[in-house]
Amino acid sequence: MDNLTQNQRSFCMSKIRSKNTKPERFFKKKFKGFAYHPKNLFGNPDFINYKKKVIVFVDGCFWHKCPYHFVEPKANKKYWLPKIEKNVSRDKEITLAYKNSGWKVVRFWEHQLVL
């Protein structure tokens, strides 16, 4: 059972950002030549290098089910587990679509970029 009220949990979840995360800031600092969060691209990649045809995704360990760090949620499993499985399935679909279009797809786990 969740030890927070619904309003407290909602507040906590609202603080989780999808852009400008610590791993993304690290990547942006280390790897120049990549556009950050390009607009209107399939799958919303985090970075792209148009010249080299490279797409980069920075995947969160929880949201994308990291094989090393994913911890199954204790509360509201009926909501979270299907949502996370959809994320994983969508990741595979997006990767395949870009590869079939001649792009190199690189996926980093957040733990690979934040030590």
Asked if the model's pLDDT at residue 89 lies above 80, the reply is yes
Could you give all domains of the chain from N- to C-terminal order, each with its CATH number? 17-113 (3.40.960.10)
pTM of the model: 0.83
Residue 24, C-beta contacts closer than 8 angstroms, at least 6 positions apart? 36, 46, 47, 58, 113
Report the share of the chain in percent with pLDDT over 90.
Answer: 61
> Token pair of 97, please?
């679509």
What is the pLDDT, as a whole number, of residue 96?
98
Which of the 8 DSSP states describes residue 38? -
Determine the longest span between alpha carbons in the chain, in angstroms. 50
What is the pLDDT, as a whole number, of residue 103?
98
Q: Which residues pair with 109 in a beta bridge?
A: 59
Task: List, for residues 30-66, the tens digit of each pLDDT value.
Answer: 888 999 999 999 999 999 999 999 999 999 999 999 9
10 compared with 94, residue with greater pLDDT? 94
What is the pLDDT, as a whole number, of residue 76?
85
Asked if the model's pLDDT at residue 115 lies above 70, the reply is no
H runs (alpha helix) in the chain: 6-14, 22-30, 77-100, 110-113
What is the pLDDT, as a whole number, of residue 6?
79
